[in-house]
């Protein structure tokens, strides 16, 4: 486990805030003139969607930290259960998230009940 | 909910703001808080101090950006490289802001109020804000949304701190489940927010592409996955649409 210097951490968060906020500000500037249904915006949205989906895959396949205590098949299985519950529950986020979390919890309890975190 | 809204135009903004804040304690709100407990626990594992985890939620207010930041720093990236990755993940906020502001504003809404509203745009606040303000009088929308969003930020910041503090003390199965909330929450929110075939394609391509690209170039994998995968989804959707239009 790494421990970050306080000033480094503060600078990183402020930089992330600025890097994130810039698109909200640009959005305000453009919202008066640009249309959500233009081709450029559907492309931008798909790029962003693919990026976040890629992040999800990375988090599930190569987790850092405690999630790695669950084996790969359990992590994939929990996502599959979550997606299935979401689809069967008429696209209910709560149901999907709860099903995935319950799968992880029960699975980890069965496999490694006493493992230190 | 279910109450007559006709008298709303005369009600002061404060009443709408309070109603919005109250509505942040709803199912989508609790899913969001749960996932921030998971994020807080994750930052603990990444070696962040508690104040940094809570500050990132209160200030950045975009879970994907916060995760990208944590992931980049953990893989040894510097602040500039991490900020670059964050800004790529945040591009998705642009169309969300553009789509939502016309719903919120009135002809008298000032620039500062529009900037403030845009700051709160993030997946859950955006989704719930759009859904719930649709039926409200126009003058009620901005105060309602600001109340809702502030409630969500406050709850999420507390949840982040709780997750960080509890990470070491929780039984293993519970902490694993909390850490697992974030990826499934993101995946399902992406699907929930996807308005087109192209966006669903982008989800699938991103999911399968990132692990492959990650082996080739571990540092630029998310950027490459976004640009290449998103463009591929865009091109495929255009091709499908053209085929449908030409008999």
Residue B229 inside a domain? The answer is yes
Contact list in B for residue A34 (CB cut-off 8 A) is: 98
- Measured distance CA(A48)–CA(B31) in Å, rounded: 22
Q: Judge contact between A22 and B90, C-beta under 8 A.
A: yes
- Measured distance CA(B228)–CA(B208) in Å, rounded: 12
How many CA atoms within 13 Å lie on the side-chain side of A63?
25
Dmax (CA) of chain A:
58
B28 and B39 in a single domain? The answer is: yes
B38 and B84 in a single domain? The answer is: yes
Domain boundaries defined on chain A: 1-34
Residue B26 inside a domain? The answer is yes
User: Per the structure block, which two tokens stand in for B71?
Assistant: 């992931």
Q: Does B106 touch chain A if contact means CB atoms closer than 8 Å? A: no
- Measured distance CA(A81)–CA(A117) in Å, rounded: 24
Cβ contact B190–A65 (<8 Å): no
pLDDT tens by residue, B207-245: 999 999 888 876 677 778 888 999 999 999 999 999 888
B63 and B159 in a single domain? The answer is: yes
Residue B138 inside a domain? The answer is yes
Cβ contact B167–A66 (<8 Å): yes
Of A25-29, B2-6, B104-108, the range with the lowest mean pLDDT is: B2-6
Nearest to A46 among B41, B168, B198 (CB): B198
Residue B2 inside a domain? The answer is no
- The stretches of chain B forming alpha helices (DSSP H) are 13-23, 27-46, 50-59, 63-74, 79-90, 93-104, 111-119, 123-133, 138-166, 172-193, 197-216, 221-224, 230-245
B242 and B143 in a single domain? The answer is: no
Question: In the structure, what pLDDT confidence band is assigned to residue A68 with cuts at 50, 70 and 90?
Answer: confident
Residue whose tokens read 């002061």:
B12
Q: For residue B203, give how far its alpha carbon lies from the nearest alpha carbon of chain A (Å).
A: 5
Domains in chain B, number: 2
Q: Does A96 touch chain B if contact means CB atoms closer than 8 Å? A: yes
* Among B104, B127, B172, B233, the residue to mutate for chain A (most A Cβ within 10 A): B172
Contact list in A for residue B89 (CB cut-off 8 A) is: 20, 48, 51-52, 55
Residue B17 inside a domain? The answer is yes
- Measured distance CA(B128)–CA(B140) in Å, rounded: 15
Question: In the structure, what pLDDT confidence band is assigned to residue A113 with cuts at 50, 70 and 90?
Answer: low
Residue B70 inside a domain? The answer is yes
Residue whose tokens read 């994939």:
A76
**DSSP assignment of B2-46, as one string?**
-S--GGGGGS-HHHHHHHHHHHTSSHHHHHHHHHHHHHHHHHHHH
The DSSP secondary-structure symbol of A111 reads H
B90 and B210 in a single domain? The answer is: no
Contact list in B for residue A33 (CB cut-off 8 A) is: none
For B230, the closest chain A residue by CA position comes to A47
B164 and B95 in a single domain? The answer is: yes
Residue B4's pLDDT is 46
For A80, the closest chain B residue by CA position comes to B184
Residue B244 inside a domain? The answer is yes
Task: Give the residue numbers spanning the domain of B236.
Answer: 195-247
- The stretches of A1-117 forming alpha helices (DSSP H) are 6-31, 39-61, 72-88, 93-111
Q: pTM above the 0.95 mark?
A: no
Residue B5 inside a domain? The answer is no
- Measured distance CA(B120)–CA(B234) in Å, rounded: 28
Q: Judge contact between B23 and B157, C-beta under 8 A.
A: no
Q: Judge contact between B46 and B72, C-beta under 8 A.
A: no
Contact list in B for residue A51 (CB cut-off 8 A) is: 88-89, 92, 206, 222-223, 225-226, 229-230
Residue B50 has pLDDT above 90, yes or no: yes
pLDDT tens by residue, B81-122: 899 889 887 877 887 888 788 888 887 889 999 999 999 999
Percent of chain B whose pLDDT exceeds 70: 95
Buried b (16+ CB within 10 A) or exposed e, B116-129: ebbbbbbbbbbbbb
Cβ contact A64–B46 (<8 Å): yes
B155 and B211 in a single domain? The answer is: no
B119 and B183 in a single domain? The answer is: yes
The DSSP secondary-structure symbol of A90 reads T
Spatial neighbors of B233 by CB under 8 A, at least 6 apart, are A46, A49, A50, B198, B199, B201, B202, B205
């Amino acid at each position: 486990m790494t421990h970050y210097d306080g000033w480094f951490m503060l600078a990183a968060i402020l930089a992330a805030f600025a890097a994130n906020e810039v698109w909200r500000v640009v959005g305000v500037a453009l919202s008066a003139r640009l249309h959500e249904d233009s081709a450029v915006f559907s492309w931008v949205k798909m790029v962003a969607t693919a990026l976040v989906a890629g992040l999800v895959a990375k988090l599930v396949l190569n987790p850092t930290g405690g999630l790695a205590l669950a084996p790969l098949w359990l992590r994939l299985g929990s996502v599959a259960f979550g997606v299935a519950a979401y689809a069967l529950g008429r696209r209910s986020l709560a149901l999907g998230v709860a099903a995935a979390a319950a799968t992880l919890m029960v699975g980890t309890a069965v496999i490694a009940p006493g493992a230190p975190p | 909910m279910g109450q007559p809204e006709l008298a709303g135009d005369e009600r002061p903004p404060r009443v709408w703001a309070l109603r919005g804040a109250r509505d942040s304690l709803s199912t989508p709100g609790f899913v969001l808080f749960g996932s921030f407990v998971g994020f807080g626990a994750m930052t603990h594992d990444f070696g962040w101090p508690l104040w940094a985890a809570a500050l990132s939620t209160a200030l950045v207010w975009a879970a994907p950006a916060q995760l990208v930041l944590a992931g980049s720093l953990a893989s040894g990236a510097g602040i500039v490289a991490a900020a670059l990755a964050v800004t790529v993940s945040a591009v998705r906020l642009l169309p969300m802001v553009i789509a939502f502001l016309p719903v919120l504003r009135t002809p008298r809404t000032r620039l500062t109020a529009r900037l403030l509203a845009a700051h709160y745009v993030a997946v859950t606040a955006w989704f719930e804000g759009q859904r719930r303000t649709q039926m409200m009088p126009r003058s009620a929308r901005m105060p309602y949304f600001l109340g809702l969003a502030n409630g969500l930020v406050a709850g999420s910041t507390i949840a982040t701190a709780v997750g960080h503090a509890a990470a070491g003390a929780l039984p293993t199965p519970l902490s694993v489940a909390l850490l697992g909330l974030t990826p499934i929450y993101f995946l399902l929110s992406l699907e929930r927010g996807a308005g087109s075939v192209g966006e669903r394609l982008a989800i699938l391509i991103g999911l399968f592409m990132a692990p492959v690209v990650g082996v080739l170039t571990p540092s630029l994998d998310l950027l490459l996955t976004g640009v290449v995968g998103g463009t591929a989804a865009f091109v495929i959707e255009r091709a499908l649409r053209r085929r449908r239009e030409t008999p």
